[in-house]
Amino acid sequence: MISFSRREKNWIPYLLFLPALIYLAGFIGYPLVKTLQLAFTSEEGKVGIENFITLTRDSTFWKALKNTLYLLIAIVPLQVILAFLLALFVNGRFKGYMTVLYIICIPLALSDVSAALMSYNIFTSHGFLNKLLMKFGFIDAPIYFFGLGLSSRAFWVIVLTELWRATPLVFIILLASLQVISKDYFEAADVFGFSSWQKFIHITLPLTMPSLQSALLIRTLFAFQIFAVVWLLSGRDIPILAGEVYYQQAELINFRLAATYGFIIALICILLSWVYLTFLKTKHLEV
């Protein structure tokens, strides 16, 4: 760090940060205030909780909330476990591990739209899975995963797609934390004759715990943003919170209800972050 010289006044770093700060205030801060305002204003312009009453009377809202939570529960724990196993494996640094790392990371760069279409390609009635199963005589007619009344099947396809698409995100966080664990710990453990399992429990796990927690938080927050995969694979058959924001806004052009849905998502995210930060004592959120 450069210390302040007389020539350089203390205001320089603030000046350097100012444009970004103004931009963020204008394009994130102000819209957030606007969301609040929209959510708490009724159709006639009265301030109140009318929008929330309308929302809670609508059964779709409860379904959307329920489905979002179900997706969260189905995806996140499995994803974190899978990612951890993958990270441990790749961190073994076998020959050619960089190539494997690269392959695992490809889905990182893919959009959710693309990922959804890829899994549609596999699971649709004329998709590879059905054709393959029929070829080998396991089934006589294609299994339908998408369509009316099949939302429970589509649900699992969505879970699988999200596992494929977003496990690498968790993987890379965990790998980063595994890579910085000093080898000295393991050498010391070897001296004391620890088994690999003991090493894992007493060294690897505690040292990666902060990253595990933040991966868990970030994935939970992202789970509330799942949109395109669900929207493309099931439309509104599986209503979810983010999908309802889109539906209210783009199809019904109801700004207030869309904002109310948005407000609820934001509220849940803030609450979750607060719970995580308070109870898990994640102190490493600073870069």
Partner 1 sequence: MKSQRIPIALKIKQLVTIIIVGFIVIWFLAPLVLITISAFASPGDYYQIDKVIPTHFTLNQFKSLFFGLEAWKAILTSIKVAGITILLSFIMGLPAGYALSRYIFPGKNFLKLLCLATKMFPLMVLAVPLLIIFMKVGVSDTIWGTSLAHTAMVLPIIILIFSSILSGVSVDYEEAAMIFGLSRIHAFFRITLPLALPGLAASAIFAFMMSWNEVFVATILTLTNRTLPAHILKTAMASPDYLKFTAGFIMAVPAMVFIFFVRKHLVTMWGISLK
The least CB distance from residue 118 to partner 1, in Å, is: 4
Q: Which stretch binds partner 1 (CB under 8 A): 26-34, 46-54, 60-68, 73-81?
A: 26-34
Does residue 181 bind partner 1 (CB under 8 A)? no
Residue type, position 250, single letter:
A
Which one of residues 6, 20, 59, 278 is an interface residue with partner 1 (CB under 8 A)? 20
Does residue 212 bind partner 1 (CB under 8 A)? no
Residue closest to 217 by CA, chosen among 139, 262, 273, 266? 273
- Please give the structure tokens belonging to residue 84: 């951890």
Q: Which stretch binds partner 1 (CB under 8 A): 42-50, 55-63, 66-74, 131-139?
A: 131-139
Does residue 262 bind partner 1 (CB under 8 A)? yes
Q: Site residues for partner 1, window 265-284 (CB under 8 A)?
A: 265-266, 269-270, 273, 284
- Please give the structure tokens belonging to residue 6: 């007389």
Packing angle of the helix pair 128-135, 112-123 (nearest 10 deg): 20
Contact criterion met (CB below 8 Å) for 166 and 149? no
Minimum CB distance to partner 1 smaller for 204 or for 260: 260
Does residue 121 bind partner 1 (CB under 8 A)? yes
Which one of residues 46, 57, 135, 183 is an interface residue with partner 1 (CB under 8 A)? 135
Site string for partner 1, 152-171 (x = CB under 8 A): ------------x---xx--
Q: Which stretch binds partner 1 (CB under 8 A): 13-21, 43-51, 58-66, 190-198?
A: 13-21
The least CB distance from residue 213 to partner 1, in Å, is: 11
Task: Residue 62: count other Cβ atoms within 10 Å of its Cβ.
Answer: 13
The least CB distance from residue 206 to partner 1, in Å, is: 19
Distance CA 232, CA 117 (A): 8
Residue type, position 227, single letter:
F
Does residue 31 bind partner 1 (CB under 8 A)? yes
Which one of residues 69, 78, 110, 189 is an interface residue with partner 1 (CB under 8 A)? 110
Q: How far is CA 141 from CA 125, 127, 137, 168, in A?
A: 9, 12, 10, 35
- Please give the structure tokens belonging to residue 253: 């052009």
Minimum CB distance to partner 1 smaller for 188 or for 214: 214
Distance CA 71, CA 76 (A): 8
- Please give the structure tokens belonging to residue 63: 């379904």
Which one of residues 59, 74, 106, 202 is an interface residue with partner 1 (CB under 8 A)? 106
The least CB distance from residue 66 to partner 1, in Å, is: 18
Which one of residues 42, 60, 91, 249 is an interface residue with partner 1 (CB under 8 A)? 249
Distance CA 283, CA 280 (A): 9
- State CA 227 to chain mean position distance: 11
Minimum CB distance to partner 1 smaller for 186 or for 235: 235
Residue closest to 51 by CA, chosen among 273, 267, 264, 232? 264
Distance CA 159, CA 163 (A): 6
The least CB distance from residue 111 to partner 1, in Å, is: 3
